[in-house]
Amino acid sequence: MRRSLLILAALVLVALAFPATAANPPEFQIIVRNLDTTEKAGEANYVRNLPSGATWLDGDRITYRCAYTFLRWQGSLVGRVTFVRLAGYAQVNDRYMAEGLRRLDGTLNPPGTGQSPTTECPVPNIAYEPDESIGPLPVLVFSDGQTTLETRNYANIREVGPTTEFQIVSHAAGSACDRVGSDGLVKATAFECFTVLIYQGGLPIVAAYYDRISENIQLTANFTSPPPPLPPEPDPTPVTLDAGLSALTCIGGTTPLVAQADPLLVTC
């Protein structure tokens, strides 16, 4: 009996010295890496149980092409964040997120599913173009109008590589927020969405989609839509000046008289 007690006490001490890893740690990360340079673009941290009472839920990480997670509030899925690889040399990974739990629309997979079909990864809808100007670090806020459920502040991204930049590039609503898989089918929809691009060395490597998937919350961000393009200049109009004196209107309001011996065709 005494021997058994001693063995039990020893096991308790070992357990205290080396605590078991929780099946669902309190936080998980989505990690973006540039495989060409082995440089990490950054780690986005997600706290499962937020002070607001909202929770981040495990979604899936499909190969290294995309990863997504869901924001739950008062028992319903209200938000989704999806990281999608834009270039072949980028990698989207996760740490401590349970994989294979949900499809992109939030539907639960059958128990034991290792990974959702690769067609659940949305096809990027962002042009592969270098950045021209980088604005403030993105800040996106999920709220119900009174309570801030979660703030995604890119100032809090961990292990940001030296050539990494972040930029909100678009804000849309309705069908413009549809997430289409590689099979051409709409995998998920949203009421409203913002797109953040992650750049390295001036080139976009990953897009992060922030989707509002409930009418009961709000999603805001520090994004200012670019001004609409100026309308094209009208085509010049041919005008024939008669022989003799013609009055011209110049910048500044002056109206000089111009004389010509013969009719003159001009455009203005």
**What integer is the mean pLDDT of 197-217?**
95
Positive/negative CA dihedral, 103, 117, 125, 140: positive
Q: Is residue 16 very low, low, confident or very high in pLDDT (cuts 50, 70, 90)? A: very low
Q: Is residue 177 very low, low, confident or very high in pLDDT (cuts 50, 70, 90)? A: very high
Q: Which whole-number Å values give the CA distances from 180 to 78, 118, 119, 183, 185, in the listed order? A: 19, 12, 9, 8, 5
Domain that holds residue 262: 238-267
Residues 174 and 253 in one domain: no
| 215 is a domain residue | yes
Residues 132 and 44 in one domain: yes
- The tokens describing 97, both together, are 């997120």
- Structure confidence by residue, pLDDT tens digits, 37-86: 889 999 999 999 999 999 999 999 999 999 999 999 999 999 999 999 99
Residues 246 and 207 in one domain: no
128 within 8 A of 87, measured Cβ to Cβ: yes
Burial of 26 (C-beta count, 10 Å sphere; 0-12/13-18/19+): exposed
Number of domains present in the structure of the chain? 2
| 227 is a domain residue | no
| 252 is a domain residue | yes
Residues 247 and 119 in one domain: no
Residues 96 and 191 in one domain: yes
Only one residue has tokens 């605590």, namely 19
pLDDT (0 to 100) of residue 262: 61
pLDDT (0 to 100) of residue 230: 62
| 18 is a domain residue | no
Nearest partner of 167 among 80, 212, 226, 218, judged by Cα? 226
Residues 152 and 249 in one domain: no
| 53 is a domain residue | yes
Q: Distance from first CA to last CA of the chain, Å, rounded?
A: 108
9 within 8 A of 1, measured Cβ to Cβ: no
Residues 34 and 123 in one domain: yes
Q: Is residue 172 very low, low, confident or very high in pLDDT (cuts 50, 70, 90)? A: very high
| 226 is a domain residue | no
pTM attached to this predicted model: 0.78
58 within 8 A of 67, measured Cβ to Cβ: no
**What integer is the mean pLDDT of 125-134?**
72
| 10 is a domain residue | no
Only one residue has tokens 């927020």, namely 177
Q: How far apart are CA 41 and CA 207, in angstroms?
A: 12
Positive/negative CA dihedral, 71, 102, 214, 175: positive
Residues 179 and 244 in one domain: no
pLDDT (0 to 100) of residue 22: 45
Residues 244 and 174 in one domain: no
Examine the pLDDT at 209 and tell me if it is beyond 90.
Answer: yes
| 249 is a domain residue | yes
